[in-house]
Amino acid sequence: METIWTVGDELYSVILEKKEGKFRITAREQEYSIEARLVTPHWMSLMVNNRLYNAYIAEGSGRKFISINGEHYTLSLPDEEAALNRGVTGAHGEGRLLIRAPMPGSVLKISVAEKDTVTEGDCLAIVEAMKMETGLHAAVSGVVKRVCVKEGQQVDAGELLIELEEMASGKKED
Amino acid sequence: METIWTVGDELYSVILEKKEGKFRITAREQEYSIEARLVTPHWMSLMVNNRLYNAYIAEGSGRKFISINGEHYTLSLPDEEAALNRGVTGAHGEGRLLIRAPMPGSVLKISVAEKDTVTEGDCLAIVEAMKMETGLHAAVSGVVKRVCVKEGQQVDAGELLIELEEMASGKKED
Amino acid sequence: MFKKILIANRGEIAVRIIRACREMNIRTVAVCSEADRSALHVLMADEAVCVGGPAPLDSYLNMERILEAAGISGAEAIHPGYGFLAENHRFAARCGKQGLVFIGPGPDAMKLVGDKVASRKTLSRIDVPVIPGMKAAGASLKEFEESAKEIGYPVMVKASAGGGGKGMRVARHPAELRLSVEAGMREAKAAFGDESVYLEKCIERPRHIEFQVLADHHGNAVHVFERECSIQRRHQKIIEESPSPFMDEELRRRMGDAAVAVVRETGYTNAGTVEFLVDENRKFYFLEVNARIQVEHPVTEMVTGTDLVKWQIRIASGERLTLKQKDLRQRGHALECRIYAEDPANGFLPCLGKIHFMKNPEGPGVRVDSGIYSGYEVTRYYDPILAKLIVWGEQRSTACSRMVQALSDYVILGIQTTIPYLMDVLTHPDFLSGKTYTDFIQKNMPDWTAKKDFLVEALAAASIQDVLASKTPAGPVKRAGVSPWQTLGAWRLGGR
Amino acid sequence: MFKKILIANRGEIAVRIIRACREMNIRTVAVCSEADRSALHVLMADEAVCVGGPAPLDSYLNMERILEAAGISGAEAIHPGYGFLAENHRFAARCGKQGLVFIGPGPDAMKLVGDKVASRKTLSRIDVPVIPGMKAAGASLKEFEESAKEIGYPVMVKASAGGGGKGMRVARHPAELRLSVEAGMREAKAAFGDESVYLEKCIERPRHIEFQVLADHHGNAVHVFERECSIQRRHQKIIEESPSPFMDEELRRRMGDAAVAVVRETGYTNAGTVEFLVDENRKFYFLEVNARIQVEHPVTEMVTGTDLVKWQIRIASGERLTLKQKDLRQRGHALECRIYAEDPANGFLPCLGKIHFMKNPEGPGVRVDSGIYSGYEVTRYYDPILAKLIVWGEQRSTACSRMVQALSDYVILGIQTTIPYLMDVLTHPDFLSGKTYTDFIQKNMPDWTAKKDFLVEALAAASIQDVLASKTPAGPVKRAGVSPWQTLGAWRLGGR
Q: Could you tell me if residue D190 is inside a domain?
A: yes
Q: Both C146 and C218 in a single domain?
A: no
Supply the CATH number for residue C340's domain: 3.30.470.20
In a domain, D246, yes or no: yes
Which residues does A71 contact at the CB level (< 8 Å), separation at least 6? C420, C450, C451, C452, C453, C454, C458
Q: Are residues C314 and C430 in the same domain?
A: yes
Range of the structural domain that residue C440 is part of: 207-452
For residues C137 and C163, membership in a common domain is answered with yes
Angle at C295 between CA C293 and CA C300, to 5 degrees: 75
Report CA-CA distances (Å) from A98 to A105, A160, A161, A165, C84: 18, 7, 8, 9, 36
Cα separation of C457 and C465, whole Å? Answer: 12
Interface test with A, best of C82, C168, C403, C457 (most A CBs within 10 A): C457
Domain assignment present for residue D421? The answer is yes
- Per-residue pLDDT, averaged over D420-447, amounts to 95
Mention every residue, 6+ apart, whose C-beta is less than 8 A from residue D45.
A52, D7, D18, D28, D29, D30
Which chains have at least 3 CB atom pairs separated by less than 8 Å from chain D?
A, B, C
* pLDDT (0 to 100) of residue B1: 80
Most confident of A85-89, A157-161, C458-462: C458-462
Q: Which helix (H) or strand (E) holds C401?
A: helix C396-409
pLDDT-derived band of residue D163, with 50, 70 and 90 as boundaries?
low
Answer yes or no: do C22 and D68 touch at CB < 8 A.
no
Q: Are residues C194 and C91 located together in one domain of the fold?
A: no
Same domain, D145 and D291: no
Q: Are residues C366 and C430 in the same domain?
A: yes
- D287 in the same domain as D418: yes
Residue D493 has pLDDT above 50, yes or no: no
Q: DSSP letters of D96-163?
A: HHTTPEESSS-HHHHHHHHSHHHHHHHHTTTT--B--B-SS---SHHHHHHHHHHH-SSEEEEESS--
pLDDT in tens, chain B (174 residues): 889 999 988 899 999 999 888 999 998 889 999 999 999 999 999 999 999 999 999 998 889 999 999 999 999 987 766 655 554 444 444 567 888 888 888 898 898 999 999 988 888 998 888 777 888 888 888 899 999 999 988 888 888 999 998 875 544 444
Q: Of C120, C207, C292, C338, which one is the catalytic site residue?
A: C292
In this prediction, residue A83 carries a pLDDT of 58
Q: Is the pLDDT of residue A92 over 90?
A: no
- Give yes or no: residues C96 and C215 share one domain: no
What CATH number corresponds to the domain at position C12? 3.40.50.20
Q: In angstroms, what CA-CA distances link D421 with A41, B70, C23, D343?
A: 32, 10, 19, 9
In this complex, the chains that touch A, judged by 3 or more CB pairs closer than 8 A, are C, D
Question: Domain containing D184 — which CATH number?
Answer: 3.30.1490.20
Pick among C18, C41, C47 to test the B interface (most B CBs inside 10 A):
C47
Q: Do A35 and C485 touch (CB under 8 A)?
A: yes
Contact yes or no for D464 and B102 at CB 8 A:
no
Do the beta carbons of residue C59 and residue C31 sit within 8 Å? yes
Lowest mean pLDDT among D156-170, D284-298, D457-471: D156-170
pLDDT score at B59: 94
C37 among known catalytic residues: no
Q: Beta strand pairing status for C101-102 and C77-79?
A: parallel
C and B make contact (3+ CB pairs below 8 Å): yes
User: What is the pLDDT, as a whole number, of residue C174?
Assistant: 92
Taking the CA of residue D164 and the nearest CA in chain B, the distance in Å comes to 12
Domain count of the fold of chain C = 3
Q: Which of C145, C177, C201 is the last residue of a domain?
A: C201
| Minimal CA separation from B53 to chain C, in Å | 7
Averaged pLDDT, D126-149: 88
Residue C74 lies in a domain: yes
Q: Do D375 and A52 touch (CB under 8 A)?
A: no
Nearest CA-CA partner of D335 in D301, D290, D373: D301
What confidence score (pLDDT) does residue B132 get? 74
Dihedral sign, Cα of residue D238, residue D243, residue D245, residue D248: positive
pLDDT at C492: 34
Q: Taking a C-beta distance cutoff of 8 angstroms, is the pair D295, D275 a contact?
A: no
Residue ending a domain, choose from D54, D87, D103: D103
* Shared domain check, C337 and C378: yes
Enter the pTM of the model: 0.86
- pLDDT tens figures, D311-325: 999 999 999 999 999
Please report whether residue D471 resides in a domain: no
The string of pLDDT tens digits covering residues D246-293 is 999 999 999 999 999 999 999 999 999 999 999 888 999 998 999 999
Classify residue D469: in a domain, yes or no.
no
Sequential pLDDT tens for chain C (496 residues): 999 999 999 999 999 999 999 999 999 999 999 999 999 999 999 999 999 999 999 999 999 999 999 999 999 999 999 999 999 999 999 999 999 999 999 999 999 998 877 887 888 889 899 888 887 788 889 999 999 999 989 999 988 876 667 778 889 999 999 999 999 999 888 888 888 999 988 887 899 999 999 999 999 999 999 999 999 998 899 999 999 999 999 999 999 999 999 999 999 999 999 999 998 889 999 989 999 999 999 999 999 999 999 999 999 999 999 999 999 999 999 999 999 999 999 889 999 999 999 999 999 999 999 999 999 999 999 999 999 999 999 999 999 999 999 999 999 999 999 999 999 999 999 999 999 999 999 999 988 999 999 999 999 999 999 888 774 433 333 333 333 333 333 333 222 2
Please write the tens of the pLDDT for every residue from A140-157. Answer: 888 999 999 999 888 888
The last residue of a domain, from among C63, C87, C103? C103
- Partners of B45 on chain C (C-beta within 8 Å) are 43
Residues D220 and D297 in one domain: yes
Q: Which of C292 and D168 is assigned the larger pLDDT?
A: C292
Q: Which long-range contacts (CB under 8 A, 24 or more apart) does D255-259 make?
A: D255/D209, D255/D211, D255/D226, D255/D284, D256/D211, D256/D223, D256/D225, D256/D226, D258/D127, D258/D128, D258/D211, D258/D284, D258/D286, D259/D211, D259/D213, D259/D223
pLDDT at position A81? 60
Q: Note the pLDDT of residue B168.
A: 58
Please report which confidence band the pLDDT of residue D485 belongs to, taking 50, 70 and 90 as the band edges. Answer: very low
Q: D466 with C26: CB under 8 angstroms?
A: no
Residues D45-94 pLDDT 10s? 999 999 999 999 999 999 999 999 999 999 999 999 999 999 999 999 99
Identify whether C482 is part of a domain: no
In a domain, D125, yes or no: no
Same domain as D367, residue D404: yes
Q: What is the pLDDT of residues B69-93, one digit of tens each?
A: 999 999 998 776 665 555 444 444 4
Q: Give yes or no: residues C197 and C281 share one domain.
A: no
Q: Give the 3-state secondary structure of residue A166.
A: strand
